[in-house]
Amino acid sequence: MNKSYIQLFLLSLLIICGSCNDEWKDEQFENFVSFKAPLANEGVSDIYIRYKGDEKTTFQQPLIVSGSTTIDKNMMVHVAVDSDTLNVLNYERFQNREDFYYRELNSAYFAIPAIIDIKAGESTALMAIDFTLKNIDMTDKWVLPLTILDDPSYNYKANPRKHYRKALLRINPFNDYSGTYSGTALKISMEGYENETPIVKSEIRSYVVDENTIFFYAGNIDEERQDRRNYKIYATFNETGGVSFRADNPDMKFTVNRDASYTVTEQMDAVRPYLLHRYITINNIDYQFTDYTMVPNVDINYKVSGSLILERQLNTQIPDEDQAIEW
């Protein structure tokens, strides 16, 4: 190759290399502020709050700043309740079935900070939401809808994608006995047809009433029924291992035939040694009730007997109880 061509090539290579810089040190994306609140299949983000009556329980909602580098200035992020988004979600998902609608959590049950600080050099922050859930009625599906406010005067930009700038937090209070029970050992029979194949539900969901009480819906009734609030059965767990059942609607003619009891057993996982399985079994369930609204002017009597089992899986390596439980 001609010597002059070699010199020209080397000179060009030197110019190209000299113009290169460490672009990876510079910000590659926009520093948008978002909630970390992934949606479940029901269009909301489930969060779990330990029920403590009058006592305050704090949930830490994460905020994140997108980008390839940490921010170089403090950000003061403004957050507010967003009723409009919840209204749109309800109509889009449920149309005229208003009994399915998510209800906006009453302000008496929570308190949120108006401003959250994200420090320079960091890319995350925790928003402390204080809940006080005494007397909350879990017949309704409660949601706390939040949004990150955006304004030219603010020193940040909210994420333009709605599923990142908004958080639809479905509130799930829990106590030691609440959750989804296996119902395969619970038989539901119409009166007079006890010898026929009984109705069996694979799962029966229970809801918090107070620290030691849950409620579930009678028989095979669940959240799908418009009149579900008429069929609540309360179960109170006492320290001696007994469970007492009651109902507050006399029209359902609820009757308990014998005393129920419960047991708690624990077992470490054979494969994951840090995982604790806790089983709560309600034994000797035996009650009767009347479904008086399914067929107008016709009472349908049911007998329910058997047992329910709740399994909780707890990661013993995680100190925060709501995070340790694998929901």
Q: Is the pLDDT of residue 45 over 60?
A: yes
Sketch the domain layout of the chain as residue ranges. 32-174, 180-324
Residue 312, SS3 per DSSP: strand
pLDDT per residue as tens digits for the range 179-192: 999 999 999 999 98
**pLDDT attached to residue 20:** 52
Sequence-distant (6+) residues with CB within 8 A of 262 are: 177, 237, 241, 242, 243, 280, 281, 282, 283
Residues facing 282 on adjacent strands:
262, 308
pLDDT per residue as tens digits for the range 111-132: 999 999 999 989 999 999 999 9
pLDDT above 90 as % of the chain = 78
Structure tokens at 16: 């190209």
Tally the residues of the chain.
327
Distance CA 319, CA 314 (A): 10
pLDDT per residue as tens digits for the range 267-316: 999 999 999 999 999 999 999 999 999 999 999 999 999 999 999 999 99
pLDDT per residue as tens digits for the range 213-259: 999 999 999 998 999 999 999 999 999 999 999 999 999 999 999 99
CA nearest neighbour of 254 among 217, 283, 284, 225: 217
Fold of 180-324: Lipocalin (2.40.128)
Q: Is the pLDDT of residue 25 over 80?
A: no
Sequence-distant (6+) residues with CB within 8 A of 190 are: 196, 300, 301, 302, 303
Q: Could you tell me the CATH superfamily of domain 32-174?
A: hypothetical protein (bacova_03559) (2.60.40.1740)
